[in-house]
């Protein structure tokens, strides 16, 4: 998002101001942030994202030490706390810890959980101009499939389509799918924590079917 870099620096500065170190993962999908929070034994994780919302929005998702998004009640407590001055600066500042290896660790962790494909499939992936393009094609290729990335250039402008992967927003991609000759296709939202499937004939598969498969 246009404001994401500024917002991320604000979050990191707040973490440092209370004496804590901040692991900096850089531009990653939200699931990678959740994974990194747990694998790096962090007490909390902050994903600067507006998920499927329009390009002009930005925000922050907070994860606990298990890499799970906070329940609504905890989010409401944080929002109430932001209305008053409750921050207690530390006597010393924390440090920024660059951690660009989290993406490779995430991919390795996902791939290690699944056997390599015995049948090589052709799969198209509409990354929606989000950071999913940095991860999902690599995972599928590592599992032995032929991947056709679409809209894999990362851009806060979301030039190809709006970030939410609705049937309406995926209409152009769905028309393309039969011409690509793929076994099936996938599409992400803006921060790649949602996944939509498109069948070989260009039909957007209902979420209920993905739930059954999962």
Contacting residues for 4 by C-beta, under 8 A, at least 6 apart: 48, 49, 58, 156
Pick the closest to residue 29 from 138, 172, 145 (CA basis): 138
Of 206, 128, 54, 65, the C-alpha closest to 198 is 206
The count of C-alpha atoms lying within 13 angstroms of the C-alpha of 174, restricted to the half-sphere facing its C-beta, is 16
Tokens of 89: 């600066």
Pick the closest to residue 62 from 39, 37, 85, 93 (CA basis).
Answer: 37
4, 13, 39, 51: which one is catalytic? 51
What CA–CA distance (Å, rounded) separates 53 from 64?
23
Q: How far is Cα of residue 144 from the mean position of the Cα atoms in its chain? A: 22
CA–CA gap between residue 121 and residue 198 (Å, rounded)? 14
Phi and psi at residue 101, in whole multiples of 5°? -75, -5
For the question of residue 4 being annotated catalytic, the response is: no
The residues assigned a catalytic role are: 51
């Amino acid at each position: 998002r246009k404001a994401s870099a500024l917002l991320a620096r604000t979050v990191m500065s707040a973490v440092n101001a209370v004496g804590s170190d901040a692991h900096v993962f850089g531009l990653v999908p939200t699931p990678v942030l959740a994974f990194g929070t747990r694998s790096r034994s962090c007490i909390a994780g902050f994903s600067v994202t507006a998920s499927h919302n329009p390009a002009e929005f930005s925000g922050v998702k907070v994860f606990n030490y298990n890499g799970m998004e906070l329940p609504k009640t905890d989010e409401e407590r944080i929002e109430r706390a932001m209305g008053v001055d409750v921050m207690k600066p530390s006597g010393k500042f924390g440090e920024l810890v660059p951690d660009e290896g989290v993406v490779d660790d995430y991919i390795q962790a996902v791939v290690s959980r699944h056997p390599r494909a015995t049948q090589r499939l052709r799969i198209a992936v509409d990354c929606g101009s989000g950071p999913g393009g940095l991860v999902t094609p690599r995972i599928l290729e590592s599992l032995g499939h032929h991947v056709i990335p679409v809209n894999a250039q990362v851009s806060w402008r979301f030039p190809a389509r709006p970030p939410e992967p609705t049937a309406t927003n995926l209409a152009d991609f769905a028309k393309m799918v039969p011409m690509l000759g793929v076994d099936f296709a996938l599409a992400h939202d803006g921060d790649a924590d949602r996944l939509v499937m498109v069948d070989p004939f260009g039909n957007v598969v209902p979420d209920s079917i993905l739930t059954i498969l999962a």
